[in-house]
Structure 1
Amino acid sequence: MLYQSIVEATELPRIIRLERNVYGAVFSLMKLLPARFMIDRAEDNGALTPQTTVIETSSGTFGLGLAMVCRMRGHRLRIVGDPAIDKNLRARLRGLGAEVDIVESVGRTGGYQRARLDRVAELCEQYPDHFVPGQYDSKDNPNAYGHAAELITATLGGADCLVGPVGSGGSTGGMASFLRLAEPDMRLIGVDTHGSVIFGMPDEPRLVRGLGNSLMPANVQHDAYDEAHWVNAAETFRATRELHETRSLFMGPTSGAAYLVARWWAARHPDAKVVVLMPDEGYRYQDSVYSDEWLRENGVRQDELPARPQLVGAPSSAGTGWSYTEWGRRTLTDVLSGDSSGRGLVAAGAAI
Structure 2
Amino acid sequence: MVEATELPRIIQVRDNLYAAAFSLMKLLPARFIIDSAEASGTLTPGTQIIETSSGTFGLGLALVCRLRGYPLTIVGDSAVDHDLRNRLQLLGARVEIVEDRGQPGGIQGARLARVEELRRLRPDSFIPNQYDNPGNPEAYSVVADLVSDTLGSVDCLVGPVGSGGSTGGLATALRHRNSGLHLVGVDTHGSIIFGSPEGARTLRGLGSSIRPGNVNHSAYDEVHWVTAGEAFHATHELYRDHGLFMGPTSGASFQTAAWWAAQNPDSTVVMVLPDEGYRYQSTVYNNTWLRENGFDLASRPTSPVMVEHPWESENVWSRLLWARREFRVVAEQAVGV
TM-score range, shorter chain: over 0.9
Superposition pairs for residues 83-122 of structure 1, below 5 Å? 83-122=78-117
The alpha-carbon deviation at position 215 of structure 1 amounts to 0.6
Can you list the C-alpha shifts for 1:135-190, whole angstroms capped at 9, x where unaligned?
Answer: 00000000000100000000001310000000000100000000000100000000
The alpha-carbon deviation at position 338 of structure 1 amounts to 2.3
Aligned residue among 265, 270, 278 for 2:265 = 270
For residues 319 and 112 of structure 1, the distance between their equivalents in structure 2, rounded to whole angstroms, comes to 22
CA contact 1:292–1:301 (8 Å) conserved in 2: no
3-state DSSP of counterpart to 2:185: strand
CA contact 2:191–2:208 (8 Å) conserved in 1: yes
For residues 263 and 99 of structure 2, the distance between their equivalents in structure 1, rounded to whole angstroms, comes to 45
The alpha-carbon deviation at position 105 of structure 1 amounts to 3.7
The alpha-carbon deviation at position 95 of structure 1 amounts to 0.4
Superposition pairs for residues 182-221 of structure 1, below 5 Å? 182-221=177-216
Question: Which residue is equivalent to 1:150?
Answer: 145
The alpha-carbon deviation at position 218 of structure 1 amounts to 0.5
TM-score, normalization by structure 1:
0.93
Question: Which residue is equivalent to 1:260?
Answer: 255
For residues 223 and 330 of structure 1, the distance between their equivalents in structure 2, rounded to whole angstroms, comes to 5
CA contact 2:9–2:22 (8 Å) conserved in 1: yes
Question: Which residue is equivalent to 1:345?
Answer: none
- 1:290 equivalent to 2:285? Answer yes
Question: Which residue is equivalent to 1:168?
Answer: 163
Q: Which residue identity is paired with 1:243?
A: L
CA contact 2:196–2:312 (8 Å) conserved in 1: no
Question: Which residue is equivalent to 1:53?
Answer: 48
Q: Which residue identity is paired with 2:80?
A: I
Once structures 1 and 2 are overlaid, which stretch shifts more, 143-152 or 125-134?
125-134
For residues 142 and 78 of structure 2, the distance between their equivalents in structure 1, rounded to whole angstroms, comes to 33
CA contact 1:106–1:114 (8 Å) conserved in 2: no
| Shift in alpha-carbon separation, 1:269–1:105, aligned structure 2, 3 A | closer
Question: Which residue is equivalent to 1:70?
Answer: 65
Superposition pairs for residues 324-343 of structure 1, below 5 Å? 324-338=319-333
Question: Which residue is equivalent to 2:317?
Answer: 322
The alpha-carbon deviation at position 209 of structure 1 amounts to 1.0
Question: Which residue is equivalent to 2:19?
Answer: 24
Q: Which residue identity is paired with 1:120?
A: V
For residues 204 and 305 of structure 2, the distance between their equivalents in structure 1, rounded to whole angstroms, comes to 23
Can you list the C-alpha shifts for 1:70-108, whole angstroms capped at 9, x where unaligned?
Answer: 111111111000111001111110100111111134342
CA contact 1:17–1:24 (8 Å) conserved in 2: yes
- 1:179 equivalent to 2:170? Answer no
Question: Which residue is equivalent to 2:124?
Answer: 129
For residues 192 and 312 of structure 2, the distance between their equivalents in structure 1, rounded to whole angstroms, comes to 14
Q: Which residue identity is paired with 2:78?
A: P
Question: Which residue is equivalent to 1:343?
Answer: none
For residues 63 and 106 of structure 1, the distance between their equivalents in structure 2, rounded to whole angstroms, comes to 22
For residues 101 and 40 of structure 2, the distance between their equivalents in structure 1, rounded to whole angstroms, comes to 35
TM-score, normalization by structure 2:
0.98
CA contact 2:157–2:182 (8 Å) conserved in 1: yes
CA contact 1:54–1:131 (8 Å) conserved in 2: yes
For residues 250 and 37 of structure 1, the distance between their equivalents in structure 2, rounded to whole angstroms, comes to 26
Report % sequence identity: 58
Question: Which residue is equivalent to 1:281?
Answer: 276
3-state DSSP of counterpart to 1:308: coil
Q: How many residues align?
A: 335
Q: Which residue identity is paired with 2:139?
A: A
For residues 289 and 160 of structure 1, the distance between their equivalents in structure 2, rounded to whole angstroms, comes to 31
Can you list the C-alpha shifts for 1:202-248, whole angstroms capped at 9, x where unaligned?
Answer: 21111111010001101100000000000011101100111111011
CA contact 2:154–2:181 (8 Å) conserved in 1: yes
Question: Which residue is equivalent to 1:233?
Answer: 228
3-state DSSP of counterpart to 1:337: helix
Q: Which residue identity is paired with 1:257?
A: A
Question: Which residue is equivalent to 2:305?
Answer: 310
3-state DSSP of counterpart to 1:239: helix
Q: Which residue identity is paired with 2:257?
A: A
